[in-house]
């Protein structure tokens, strides 16, 4: 089957520092793909390049059969790829409801936005309770849920989550992973960037391990979980 996202030979540099050196990666329809690696391996650069906020030096990014390597960030959202950034970056002085409305910025029909916001409230009942509260008053876990919900209002076919478990208590991490699973079961593909390899490989179908801007290992999540290299480097003994 044709992958919905296909990256070939991606190279990105920040000045003289090479962040990606020929990265290949693909995500299939309805798949959850984990992208693992240490700090500075190039995980965030990869998603930021896909979403168009960082420019590549070489390589191609194809999404839904179209080349999006040089597309503007907003047109990438319009095509159905939404990036939930590291550190959540919700709008702290907008209400929960307004945050979700901004998520639907590219959607022209207000009725569709309202319908999707309702779905987010069903997925995260806590958000419905706090809809009139300012985003900045939410706890870390709630902010993460808001960030995911906000992205879902755009109606993505592929959602990219950058470190959604960062700074969260284990119980909250489990809730976030459950939410990711339900979003995927409803038909959205997921590219999951994580330092928390254990949690990520539990929910993912496939995974990539990257190091110094290159893929060093890839395979089904089950294989990676037991791969001695991964166990030693990312899962601990």
Partner 1 sequence: MHHFIQLVVSGLFVGSFYALVALGYSMVYGIIKLLNFAHGDIYMLGAFAGFTVLSVGAGALGGGLIALIAIMIAAMAATGTFGVILERVAYRPLRSAPRLSVLITAVGASFALEYGIAVAFGPNPQVYQIGVTGGTLNIAGARITYAQLAMMAIAVLLMIALDTLVRKTRSGRAMRAIAQDPKACLLMGVNVDRVIARTFFIGSALAGAAGVMAGAYYGKIDFLMGFVIGLKAFTAAVIGGIGNLRGAVLGAVVLGLLESFAVAYLGSEWRDVFAFGFLILFLTVRPTGLLGERVTERV
The torsion defined by the Cα of 15, 17, 21 and 24, in degrees rounded to 10, comes to -80
For the CB of residue 34, give the shortest distance to partner 1 in the complex, in Å: 20
Query: Is there binding between residue 101 and partner 1 (CB under 8 A)?
Result: yes
Q: State the DSSP H helix or E strand holding residue 5, giving kind and residue range, or none if neither.
A: strand 5-14
Instruction: Tell me how far CA of residue 73 lies from CA of 43, 68, 70, 157, 202, in angstroms.
Output: 18, 10, 9, 16, 31
- Name the one residue in this structure whose structure tokens are 């008053």: 137
Is residue 51 close enough to count as binding partner 1 by CB under 8 A?
yes
Cβ closer to partner 1: 159 or 210? Answer: 159
CB of 177 to partner 1, least distance (A): 22
- Closer residue to partner 1 (CB): 21 or 115: 115
Site for partner 1 in 67-96 (CB under 8 A): 72-74, 76-78, 82-85, 89-94
Q: State yes or no: residue 137 binds partner 1 (CB under 8 A).
A: yes
Tokens of residue 5, six digits: 């996202």
> Residue 181: phi, psi to the nearest 5?
-65, -45
Burial class (CB in 10 A: 0-12, 13-18, 19+), 221: middle
Q: Is 149 in the site for partner 1 (CB under 8 A)?
A: no
Please report which helix (H) or strand (E) contains residue 144, including its range: helix 140-152
- Span of 4-12, 101-109, 115-123, 221-229 interacting with partner 1 by CB under 8 A: 101-109
| Residues 150-189 interacting with partner 1 (rule: CB under 8 A) | 150-151, 154
CA–CA gap between residue 84 and residue 69 (Å, rounded) = 19
112 binds partner 1 (CB under 8 A): no
Token pair recorded at residue 130: 């706090």
Q: Quote the least distance from Cβ 77 to partner 1, whole Å.
A: 3
Binding site for partner 1 (CB under 8 A): 51-53, 72-74, 76-78, 82-85, 89-94, 98, 101-103, 105-106, 134, 136-140, 143, 150-151, 154
């Amino acid at each position: 089957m044709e992958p919905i996202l296909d990256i070939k030979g991606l190279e990105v540099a920040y000045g003289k520092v090479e962040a990606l050196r020929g990265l290949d990666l693909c995500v299939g329809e309805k798949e959850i793909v984990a992208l693992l690696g240490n700090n500075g391996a190039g995980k965030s650069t990869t998603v930021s390049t896909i979403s168009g906020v960082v420019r590549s030096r070489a390589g191609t990014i194809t999404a839904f059969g179209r080349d999006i390597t040089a597309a503007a960030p907003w047109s990438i959202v319009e095509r159905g790829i939404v990036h939930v950034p590291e550190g959540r970056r919700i709008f702290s002085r907008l209400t929960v409801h307004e945050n979700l409305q901004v998520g639907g910025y590219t959607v022209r029909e207000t009725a569709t936005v309202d319908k999707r916001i309702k779905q987010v409230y069903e997925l995260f009942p806590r958000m419905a309770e706090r809809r009139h509260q300012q985003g900045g008053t939410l706890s870390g876990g709630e902010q993460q849920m808001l960030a995911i919900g906000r992205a879902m209002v755009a109606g993505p076919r592929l959602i990219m989550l950058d470190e959604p478990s960062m700074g969260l208590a284990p119980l909250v991490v489990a809730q976030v992973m459950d939410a990711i699973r339900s979003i995927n079961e409803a038909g959205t593909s997921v590219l999951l960037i994580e330092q928390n390899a254990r949690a990520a490989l539990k929910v993912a179908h496939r995974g990539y391990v990257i190091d110094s801007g290159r893929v060093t290992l890839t395979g089904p999540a089950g294989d990676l979980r037991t791969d001695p290299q991964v166990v030693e480097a990312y899962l601990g003994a």
